[in-house]
Chain A
C-alpha cells in the first residue's frame, strides 16, 4: 500500500477505536471524562518520553494510562468529598495535569518533535513513517499495528462480556443485584478507554480525541434503539467521517484531525435534524402533518354533524369562520367535499372514508 493509503487506514482505525470507547462513556453519562483523560495523559507521556525517547515503549503507554486513571480517581474522590462540584472537580484536575505536562514539555523537550503542535493536532504524517519490520519484511507503519491492537482489545472487551457490560452500563443497581461487579467492569472499561486515548494521542492530538470519541456515538444516539445497533452505527459514522475528513484534509493540505472531528460534528448535526422519529426536522414535519390531519378531521366531522348541507354563514364567530373557510377550501380541493348549487358543503364518498380513518387514528 502507498503511504497515503496507510494514512487513511490509520485514520479509520483510530476513529473507530475512539468511537467505540466513546460509546462506553456516553451510555454511562460520563462523556466529558474523555475530555479530561485526553488532557491528563500528557504529563505521563511527556515524562516517559523524556526518559525513553520512544513513543511506542510500553513504559510510555503505561505511564500515560496510569495518569488517565489517576485523573478519574482524583476527580471522583474530590467530588465525593463534597468540597467541590463534580464537573468543576474534573475541570480543575485535568487542566492542572495538562498544564504540568505543557510546562514539562516546554522546559525539557523543547527541541524534540514532542512540541505544542503535536499536542494539539497530533502528527499522522510522523506516525505513519516508522515501519514495522518482521524478519526483514516490511509490514507497514507500526502506528497502524498499535492502533489495531487497541481496537481488537476494545472489540474483545465489548463482545465477550457483552450482556454483563450492557446491563452494568444501563442499570448499575440491577447489575449489582445480579453480582456482576459493575465497578470492576467500569474499571476495565476505563483502562481500555485510557489506552485508546494514549495510542491515538500521537495520531489525533489531545483536544480533538474528545470530538472523535463523542460525536459519532452522539449521532448514533438518535438513530438507534438497541445497544448493539448503537455500537454499529457509531462505528459507521466514525468510518464515514474519517474518510470524508481525510480527503478534505488532503485537499486543504493540513493535518487530518481537525477535518475529521468537524466531519463527525456535522454528522451529528445531520442526525439531530433528520433522524427518523426523533430528529428535530422530522418531528416538526410530522407534527405539522398531524395538525393538518386533525384539522381536516374536525372540519369533516362538523359537516357530518349538520343535518343536510353545511352553510358557512351559520358560524357566528368571525375568527372561527375564516379558519373553517380555509380548511373547507383545502378539503374541497382534495375532493373530500362537494359544493351544492347554493354554495353549501356536503361530504363526498371519499370524504366519508377519510373521516372514518382519521377518527380511528385520533381515537375520536
Chain B
C-alpha cells in the first residue's frame, strides 16, 4: 500500500478527493437538515449549463488555461445559485409545489446545458479542451491535478471558515427558521448564505463525482452521520470524515486502471456506510433498536 503514497499523481488525486469529500460531506449537513436534499441535486445538475457557458466564454476570449478553470467553477456556481434562487422564488410567489419547481429547473438548466454541450462537441474543428467537459457528467478523479486541488481548497476552505465562525447563526436558521427570526436573526439573509455555502460545496465536487451523482456526496454522509449522534456539531464532523474517506477510497479504486468512472464508485461506498449506519447505529439502528432502550 505504501507505493500509493509515493506516486505523485495518486497522492494528488487522494488529496483532492479527501478535500472535496470532507468539505461537501460536512457542509451537506445543512442541506440534509434543512430538507434541501433534492435542491442539492438540482443545483448540481443545473451547474452544467454554467460550466458549458463559461467554457464557451473562455474559448471566445482566449483566456489562459489556469484562468479558464476558475471561470468554469464560477460559471457552475452562478448557474447553480440561479437555479436554487429561482426555485425559491417560484415556490414563494406561486402555488406550484416545490417538487415541481425543482423538476422544471432541471428542464431549463440541465436541458439547455446538455443541448449546448452536445452542440459544442459536434463543432468542427473541435475547440481545445472540449473533450474534458464530458468528465463533468460522471466525474473523473484520475484527472485531478495539483492546480485543481488548489482551486478546491481556495473555494472550499472559506466556506468551512464561514461555517465555523457563523456556526450558531447557520445552525439555528437550518434547524428552526421560525425560532431564529423570533430571536432577531435575519433569516432571509442567512438562507441565501446557506445557499451559497451549498452551491460552493457542490461545485467543488463536480470534477470528481460529476453533476449527476453529486447529490449522494452531499447528503449520504449527513444521513449516515445523523444515525450516530443527536448533535449537529459531531454530526458535521462525522459526515466530513465519512465523505472524505469514501471519496479517497473511491478515487483510488477508480484510478487503479479498471476504467470505472469515479462518481458511481464513491456513491456505492457511501451507500454501504449509510446502510451500515441505518442498521447498526446504537439506539437508532433498525437492528439495534430496542436492544438497550
Which A residues are within 8 Å of any B CB, using their own CB? 22, 26, 29-32, 34-35, 78, 81, 83-92, 95-96, 98-100, 102-103, 106-107, 110, 116, 120-121, 207-208, 210-215, 217-218, 221-222, 248-249, 252-255, 257-266, 268-269, 272, 278, 280
Chain A positions within 8 Å of B238 at CB level: none
Given A88-B32, A91-B37, A99-B263, residue A221 in contact with residue B96 (CB < 8 A): yes
Nearest opposing residue in chain A for B115, CB measure = A258
Chain A positions within 8 Å of B96 at CB level: 218, 221-222
- Say yes or no: is B94 at the interface (Cβ < 8 Å to chain A): yes
* A265 & B286 in contact (Cβ 8 Å cutoff): no
Given A87-B35, A95-B220, A266-B108, residue A210 in contact with residue B212 (CB < 8 A): no
The one of A22, A87, A98 in contact with B38, judged by C-beta atoms closer than 8 angstroms, is: A87
* A211 & B35 in contact (Cβ 8 Å cutoff): no
CA distance A44 to B71 in the complex (A): 39
The one of B36, B106, B109, B278 in contact with A35, judged by C-beta atoms closer than 8 angstroms, is: B106
Chain B positions within 8 Å of A32 at CB level: 38, 99, 102-103
Nearest opposing residue in chain A for B284, CB measure = A83
Chain B positions within 8 Å of A95 at CB level: 213, 215-216, 220, 267, 271
Chain A positions within 8 Å of B212 at CB level: 98, 120, 207
CA distance A260 to B115 in the complex (A): 9
Shortest beta-carbon contacts, A-B, top 8: A214-B103, A261-B111, A211-B107, A265-B108, A265-B107, A99-B264, A258-B115, A262-B111
* B112 & A103 in contact (Cβ 8 Å cutoff): no
Residues 187 to 227 of chain B near chain A (Cβ within 8 Å)? 212-213, 215-216, 219-220, 222-223, 226-227
Nearest opposing residue in chain A for B103, CB measure = A214
Given A88-B219, A95-B216, residue A261 in contact with residue B110 (CB < 8 A): yes
Chain B positions within 8 Å of A107 at CB level: 258, 260
Chain B interface, DSSP helix/strand/loop, else mixed: helix
Nearest opposing residue in chain A for B121, CB measure = A254
Chain B positions within 8 Å of A34 at CB level: 103
Can you offer 10 A-B residue contacts whose CB atoms are under 8 A?
A: A32-B102, A89-B223, A91-B215, A95-B271, A249-B115, A252-B115, A258-B112, A259-B111, A265-B111, A268-B107
* A84 & B106 in contact (Cβ 8 Å cutoff): no
- Say yes or no: is B25 at the interface (Cβ < 8 Å to chain A): no
Contact with A along B251-293 (1 / 0, CB 8 A): 0000000111101110110010010001000001010000000
| Chain A-chain B contacts (Cβ-Cβ < 8 Å), number | 207
Given A91-B38, A252-B119, A258-B114, residue A221 in contact with residue B268 (CB < 8 A): no
Question: From residue B170, how far is it (CB to closest CB) to chain A in Å?
Answer: 18
CA distance A205 to B181 in the complex (A): 44
The one of A35, A116, A261, A263 in contact with B41, judged by C-beta atoms closer than 8 angstroms, is: A35
Total interface residues on B, CB under 8 Å, equals 62
The one of B100, B137, B219, B265 in contact with A103, judged by C-beta atoms closer than 8 angstroms, is: B265
CA distance A87 to B115 in the complex (A): 28
The one of A83, A211, A254 in contact with B118, judged by C-beta atoms closer than 8 angstroms, is: A254
- Say yes or no: is B104 at the interface (Cβ < 8 Å to chain A): yes
- Say yes or no: is B247 at the interface (Cβ < 8 Å to chain A): no
18 more CB-based (< 8 A) A-B contacts, given A96-B271, A210-B106: A31-B100, A83-B227, A85-B32, A85-B35, A92-B271, A99-B264, A99-B265, A100-B264, A103-B264, A103-B265, A106-B261, A207-B106, A212-B107, A258-B114, A264-B107, A265-B109, A265-B112, A272-B90
Chain B positions within 8 Å of A120 at CB level: 114, 137, 212
The one of A29, A116, A213 in contact with B97, judged by C-beta atoms closer than 8 angstroms, is: A29
Given A29-B97, A207-B110, residue A92 in contact with residue B103 (CB < 8 A): no
Chain B positions within 8 Å of A264 at CB level: 107, 111
- Say yes or no: is B171 at the interface (Cβ < 8 Å to chain A): no
Q: Which of B95, B104, B268 has the most CB of A within 10 A?
A: B104
Chain B positions within 8 Å of A254 at CB level: 115, 118-119, 122
CA distance A32 to B286 in the complex (A): 26
- Say yes or no: is B55 at the interface (Cβ < 8 Å to chain A): no
* B93 & A280 in contact (Cβ 8 Å cutoff): yes
* A83 & B100 in contact (Cβ 8 Å cutoff): no
CA distance A213 to B90 in the complex (A): 18
* A99 & B268 in contact (Cβ 8 Å cutoff): yes
Question: From residue A291, how far is it (CB to closest CB) to chain B in Å?
Answer: 19
Question: From residue A29, how far is it (CB to closest CB) to chain B in Å?
Answer: 5
Q: Which of B113, B219, B260 has the most CB of A within 10 A?
A: B219
The one of A208, A214, A263 in contact with B100, judged by C-beta atoms closer than 8 angstroms, is: A214
Chain A positions within 8 Å of B258 at CB level: 107
The one of B115, B267, B274 in contact with A262, judged by C-beta atoms closer than 8 angstroms, is: B115
* B122 & A252 in contact (Cβ 8 Å cutoff): yes
CA distance A212 to B112 in the complex (A): 13
The one of A215, A248, A253, A272 in contact with B94, judged by C-beta atoms closer than 8 angstroms, is: A272
CA distance A83 to B227 in the complex (A): 7
The one of B115, B122, B223, B271 in contact with A85, judged by C-beta atoms closer than 8 angstroms, is: B223
- Say yes or no: is B101 at the interface (Cβ < 8 Å to chain A): yes
Given A31-B99, A106-B259, residue A268 in contact with residue B104 (CB < 8 A): yes
Given A87-B38, A91-B38, residue A96 in contact with residue B111 (CB < 8 A): no
